[in-house]
Amino acid sequence: MQYPEPIAKLIDSYMKLPGIGSKTATRLAFYTIDMPKEDVGDFAKSLMAAKNDLHYCSICGNITEDDPCDICRDKNRDQSTIIVVEQPKDVMALEKMNDYHGLYHVLHGVLSPMEGLGPDDINIKSLILRLQKTPVKEVIVATNATPEGEATAMYISRLIKPAGIRVTRLAHGLSVGSDIEYADEMTLLKAVEGRQEM
Amino acid sequence: MQYPEPIAKLIDSYMKLPGIGSKTATRLAFYTIDMPKEDVGDFAKSLMAAKNDLHYCSICGNITEDDPCDICRDKNRDQSTIIVVEQPKDVMALEKMNDYHGLYHVLHGVLSPMEGLGPDDINIKSLILRLQKTPVKEVIVATNATPEGEATAMYISRLIKPAGIRVTRLAHGLSVGSDIEYADEMTLLKAVEGRQEM
């Protein structure tokens, strides 16, 4: 005996999401049936809206409803600094600081020979073209502190530096509020290397 | 800075699902944007279909597109035996045995004083009415082997037995293929109590 077709299809749909296997998908599908009808309707609508109304900004690659995005259109922002990040989520994280008023560039990935991702598979070309068109003083590379993120940062730095643009990388060190006891060796090493006068 | 509205709404929708917090919801929402358009369309459609086309069978409470459900309409099935389960998923699990040809009754929950769930909150009344209308020889109580499941089984047994209907409970014991070494004490105790001649 099979599940009735509507629920079998819904289970299949949930299983297409990352990290959701058949057991979780089944649980979510049965939960959906018991949800208020308007919540399910909202869910279906928001799925379609997110897919249809959102685009990538043609300048920075960030996710946006309008093109160019709010940040690229804002002439009050410092046009001479660009932070390079891996994902749109990283832009949100950095904006939460409320302290940076420059621009962004979203790579949508990192160089990863293991996954067959080369320079043409991420938004590097559009960054170079952008730097050729507009006068930028500093590029801050804020890729993740992973081997792939470091390699990507190094690659971008080598491409941009010859043009006389300052290229910097976010500092590595201890998280604020963290215990030295629980820090890993690599982080401690970076924290010692990057020590500052006080 | 906030996420663009379509993605913020989608994150909210994902967060209404059980076990999905804001981090996972954000991850799923960004993943959804990168999914093929037709997959997202199918997902939205299957959500609506599951909510609109599925109902609970008016006889047994199982989930179904047609009322009564396939099992209740099947006159070839043994009409004199009913297995009582907690959830529609349990019906599917028992049907996979391919060895039981009687009927089912889905309680949609268990008695749980902690959660304020009494006999009126689960499908017990419809079970009693069903037993008064149709001649049933045996009711097999297949609620889960949890304290709530056991209490519910006991409650149902006390209600039904006076009517002269045989009430049985699924056997407790070792799972097939399991190691005694890893079995918990309660399971071992039940396995010894329920030992059989060989």
Q: Are A11 and A25 in contact (CB under 8 A)?
A: yes
Q: Which residues of A touch B44 (CB under 8 A)?
A: 43-45, 47-48
Nearest chain A CA: its distance from B159 CA (Å): 28
Q: Which two tokens stand for residue A167?
A: 């290229």
Residue A60 DSSP code: T
B58 within a domain of the structure (yes/no)? no
Question: Closest to A44 (Cβ–Cβ): which among B7, B33, B47?
Answer: B47
Same domain, B95 and B15: no
Give percent of chain B with pLDDT exceeding 90: 69
- For residues B89 and B172, membership in a common domain is answered with yes
Tell me the residue range of the domain where A23 lies: 5-53
Q: Nearest CA of chain A to the CA of B14: how many Å?
A: 8
Of A10, A43, A64, the CB nearest to B4: A64
Q: Chain A residues with CB inside 8 Å of B32's CB?
A: 17, 47, 50-51
Q: What is the model's pLDDT at position B187?
A: 86
- For residue A151, the surrounding DSSP H or E stretch is helix A147-160
B38-62 confidence digits (pLDDT tens): 999 999 999 999 999 998 999 999 9
Contact A20, B35 (CB under 8 A): no
Residue B172 is assigned to a structural domain of this protein: yes
My answer on whether A91 and A153 are in the same domain is: yes
Residue B60, in any domain of the structure: no
Q: What's the pLDDT score for residue A111?
A: 94
Looking at the structure, tell me whether residues A98 and A157 fall in a common domain.
yes
Q: How deeply is B108 buried, as exposed, middle or buried, from its count of CB atoms within 10 A (0-12, 13-18, 19+)?
A: middle
Residue B61 falls inside a structural domain: no
CA distance B117 to B77: 32
Q: What Cα–Cα distance (Å) separates residue A122 from each residue in A111, A152, B36? A: 8, 10, 19
The radius of gyration computed from the CA coordinates of chain A, to the nearest angstrom, equals 22
For the residues B124-147, what does the mean pLDDT come to?
92
Same domain, A117 and A167: yes
Report if residue A61 sits inside a domain: no
CATH assignment at residue A79: 3.40.1360.10
Counting beta carbons within 10 angstroms of the beta carbon of residue A59, is it exposed (0 to 12), middle (13 to 18) or buried (19 or more)? buried
Residues of chain A with pLDDT under 50: none
In this predicted structure, the answer to whether residue B173 has a pLDDT above a threshold of 90 is: no
B28, B7 contact by CB (below 8 A): no
Question: Per residue in A85-135, pLDDT tens?
Answer: 999 989 988 888 888 999 999 999 999 988 899 999 999 999 999 999 989
CB nearest B28 (choices: A5, A17, A26) = A17
Same domain, A84 and A49: no
Q: Is the domain of A48 the same as that of A103?
A: no
Same domain for B187 and B90:
yes
CATH number (domain holding residue B9):
1.10.8.420
Instruction: Sort residue B79 into left (φ over 0), alpha (ψ -120 to 50) or beta.
Output: alpha
pLDDT at B36 over 80: yes
Q: Is A82 found in the same domain as A138?
A: yes
B62 within domain boundaries: no
Statement to judge: residues B78 and B154 lie in one domain: yes
How confident is the model at residue A1, as a pLDDT?
59
Give yes or no: residues B92 and B14 share one domain. Answer: no
The pLDDT value recorded for residue B194 is 82
Is A164 found in the same domain as A131?
Answer: yes
Domain count, chain B: 2
pLDDT band at B152 (very low <50, low <70, confident <90, very high): very high
